[in-house]
Amino acid sequence: MTGAPLLSVRGLNVRYGAIQAVRGIDFTINAGEIVAFLGANGAGKSSTLNALVGLVPVAGGTVRFGAADITHLAPERLAPMGLTLAPEGRRVFAGLSVEENLRMGAYAVRDADRRAAAWEMVYDLFPILQERRKQFAGTLSGGQQQMLAIGRALMCGPKLLLLDEPSLGLAPKIVGQIFDLIAGLRDHDVTLGIVEQNVAMALEVADRGYVLAGGRIVAAGTAQELRQTDRLQAAYLGED
Amino acid sequence: MDLVVQQTVNALALGGTYALLALGLAVVFSIMGLINFAHGELMTIAGYTLMYCGIAGVSFVVSVPLAILAAMVAAVLMERIAFRPVRGASGATMLITSFAVSMILQVLFQNLISARSQAVALPQFLSESVRLGGIVIGVNKVAAIAATVAMLIFLDRFMSRQKTGIAMRAAAEDFAVARLMGIRANTVIAGAFAISGLLAGVAAVLWVSQRASVDPLMGFTPVLKAFIAAILGGLGSLRGAVAGGFVLGFIEVYLAAFLPQALQEFRDPIGLGIVVLILLFRPNGMIPSRFLGSVKV
């Protein structure tokens, strides 16, 4: 089911001034996989994702996407290559309509047929977005905004989609819905990297996972293995 | 009654010019967090273009688009040369940079052109007037109102229908996320400057056609007023800038027309007092931007 490495990260370092958020981590995401990044607040998960897409500078290490070295590429160069991030806190454009948000998601796609296919896929996955397409994104509920954030990211036809805390601030029932949709993305040839606090949910959809603590990877394995290991609990309780 | 209608037309003409200028300031501010005080010099550049075209005997039909184009090109160059190196710096750094650009240009105008006011040849019809019902309205006033309305409609269409316009709204709201979609910072910012240049160019043509002269400091006063209008409307809010421009135009024209003779010398303090009063009740402006605190690139 899983293919060649799509994203390989070696010795990634992220610094904010004197604070080192990520301390030389290595990991890979293979084509077709869903990979979860777990860990407590401040473990370096979001910093890792933000560094991958160029939103925060990489202080050391290399990031390869397919055959290309993308370590120091600007964020706007990545969507055309097929790598994008649905950021933490959804961050939909509140003053734009749902339709305009999705249109912006496809900004980098020049081919009209590919754009049409993306519209069809997103409206198919999230019928509510089609229903609400004229509405301002700011007027949507939290769950709908998360669907829009994921839909918007899908509009560029990504090979690899990174999701940062898709369950954050959502009601439990909605979280279940969102994760069902995430699991369904497998059928659309999208590889996924998910940062998530909701460990149970994340391990349910993921194939593999990495556990971070203090900016390092402290455990790695299949979802099955991680569910059984006590390293996970240790990472959350800060016993490292 | 006729006087009220007459002055309302004047207020719409002046307010429209302020609105265009304030809109130019707001478009750049909403995206970059820069208050561009050199916006006035874009007007001056358009004014001098009109003057030289007049001297060269170029027809007004050609010189107006040339003047507007000159302001747009100057705006884009200004961004490329002066503001791109300080992009992402603090608001204060960018503000000081814009003051420097403004002063450098003023000195260049003074030394290379003339420190004194220069006459601009205008076509005869602009100083004529038309009779509508019982009132006489100057053609230049009608032209100013028509041009303002046309520009506002154009800009509204551009921002709501064109991909680049929507991208500019998206970037004004959340630049980092906009970049994740592949929206290039350079494209959006250069686009914002081109639009601000377009608006300054149109405003300059309207301004010059009321006065028939241009001098090195021509842009200063109107842009100061436009800045007040932008604050009054809500800094960074495009609708606010338009509303603020018109309100300021009405305040100025009505005070000049209806204030008793004895109070006329206090016209400006009274006008600014009204502005302060409005801000007292609406500290973020009449139509505040929702994204004032958003991070700019």
Tell which residue, A185, A50, A75, A235, has the closest CA to residue B178: A75
**Which of B176, B177, B181 is the closest to A108 by Cβ?**
B181
Residue B144 host element (H or E):
helix B139-161
Q: pTM of the entire structure?
A: 0.89
User: What count of residues does chain B have?
Assistant: 297
Helix axes B39-55, B2-32, angle to 10 degrees: 120
Which residues in chain A have their CB less than 8 angstroms from residue B290's CB?
94-95, 138
Give the mutation candidate from B180, B188, B237 for the A interface (greatest A CB count, under 10 A): B180
Residue B184: closest CA among chain A residues belongs to which residue? A76
Q: Is A124 in contact with A188 (CB distance < 8 Å)?
A: no
Tens of pLDDT along B143-156?
999 999 999 999 99
Say which residue the tokens 């800060």 belong to. A238
CA B71, CA B75: separation in Å to the nearest integer?
6
Tens of pLDDT along B170-184?
999 999 999 999 999
Which residues in chain A have their CB less than 8 angstroms from residue B174's CB?
91, 93
**Biggest alpha carbon–alpha carbon distance for chain A:** 52
CA B247, CA B245: separation in Å to the nearest integer?
6
Tens of pLDDT along A140-166?
999 999 999 999 999 999 999 999 999
Residue A160 host element (H or E):
strand A160-164
Give the mutation candidate from A56, A102, A104 for the B interface (greatest B CB count, under 10 A): A104
CA A145, CA A91: separation in Å to the nearest integer?
8
CB pairs under 8 A between A and B: 73
Give the mutation candidate from B158, B160, B175, B177 for the A interface (greatest A CB count, under 10 A): B177
Residues 6+ apart with CB under 8 A from B107: none
* ipTM score assigned to the predicted complex: 0.91
Q: DSSP class of residue B238?
A: H
Can you give the pLDDT of all 297 residues of chain B as single tens digits?
688 988 999 999 999 999 999 999 999 999 988 999 999 999 999 999 999 999 999 999 999 999 999 999 999 999 999 999 998 888 899 999 999 999 999 999 999 999 999 999 988 888 888 887 778 888 999 999 999 999 999 999 999 999 999 999 999 999 999 999 999 999 999 999 999 999 999 999 999 999 999 999 999 999 999 999 999 999 888 999 999 999 999 999 999 999 999 999 999 999 999 999 999 999 889 998 876 555 554
CB of A40 less than 8 A from some CB of B: no
**Which of B163, B181, B290 is the closest to A94 by Cβ?**
B290
Residue A186 pLDDT level (bands cut at 50, 70, 90): confident
